[in-house]
Amino acid sequence: MKRTFLARRNALLSATRISWGIIALAFAILMLLTRLLAPNLFLHAFTPAFRIANTIAAKSHTFFASFGDTAALAVRNEQLAGENAALATENQALLEKEAGLNRLMGSSGSQKIAASAILAGVVARPPESPYDTLVVAAGSSAGVTLGMEAFGEGGVPLGVVSSVTADFSRVTLFSAPHMITHGWIGHAGLPLSILGAGAGALQASLSRSADVVVGDTVFAPGPGMLPIGSVVRIDSDPSSPGITLLIKPKVNPFSLTWVELLDVGAALRNVFSVATSTP
């Protein structure tokens, strides 16, 4: 008697071939376990790949920018050169003013704060990381601790250190979804809650009566009131009692190459304790 055997078929895995999906899932789980069990090793392994990604992003940006309108780019370049010269002059005047104040008041608190800053290179940035997080090449061995604040060029606050390994840290940007930062807007210092909108954008809601216009600067707390962005659009719905502000960050997180990490709270406490202590 002839017997027929029917192989049991599985949509995902069959005896005749191994599914690429199964291999991919096994690899992803292996990587997840590596990150959970040895996060420092994981980031060391992926750092070269992140660096290649950064290079590709920079090259592609240059390539696509070359298709832009040359005349418009020249005008923009001239305008930026003018703004740069004006800012350099203003910066020089402020430095002289700061030096004068330091001479009057002795050693400044800002110098003490700057001394504790840790300079860290950016390994991965938002174009590759969808959560608006930065992976930076400085960890607990360099003195980085949870809660430190990250600053970009010009001392612009960017985000907060959310996890630390021996040689790397992750900085959650203020623009990350669900990230809430309490700050101020305008020279009047109107308080507001800044909500991360993802992809480097920020937004905030205020009452309709608030005196806010496009171009107003938004500040975040740090060593003083620090500008983090400016209002680029105000959405006003007649049926709503409030307005929504769309805020553009001062520093473009997509082109960051380094950040300064600073324990603002601890540094400020030290400054205040020195300033208020009596001999």
Note the residues at the interface with another protein (CB under 8 A): 11-12, 17, 19-25, 27-29, 31-32, 35, 46, 49-50, 52-53, 56, 124, 127-133, 160, 162-163, 170, 172, 176-179
DSSP H stretches of helix in the chain: 20-37, 39-65, 70-105, 109-115, 264-276
Going by their DSSP bridges, the two strands 157-164 and 169-173 should be labelled as: antiparallel
Q: Between the CA of residue 69 and those of 66, 74, 76, 266, what are the distances in Å?
A: 8, 9, 11, 49
Q: Which helix (H) or strand (E) holds 154?
A: none
Q: What number of residues does the chain have?
A: 279
Query: What's the N-to-C CA distance of the chain in angstroms?
Result: 106
- For the chain, the maximum distance between any two Cα atoms, rounded to a whole number of angstroms, is 108
Closer to another protein at the Cβ: 178 or 233? 178
> Is the Cβ of residue 170 or residue 250 nearer to another protein in the bound state?
170
Q: What distances in angstroms separate CA 193 from CA 87, 179, 265, one per listed residue?
A: 29, 10, 20
Residues in CB range of 28: below 8 A, 6 or more apart = none
The CB-of-63 to another protein minimum distance in angstroms stands at 14
| CB closer to another protein, 51 vs 112 | 51
Please report how close the Cβ of residue 176 comes to another protein at its closest, in angstroms: 4
Other beta carbons within 10 Å of 27: 10
Q: Taking the complex as a whole, how short is the minimal distance between the CB of residue 161 and another protein, in angstroms? A: 10
Closer residue to another protein, CB minimum distance, 157 or 185: 157
The nearest distance, CB 230 to another protein, in angstroms, is: 24
Nearer to another protein, 130 or 224 (CB): 130
Q: Which two tokens stand for residue 105?
A: 């008041």
| Nearer CB in complex with another protein: 163/270 | 163
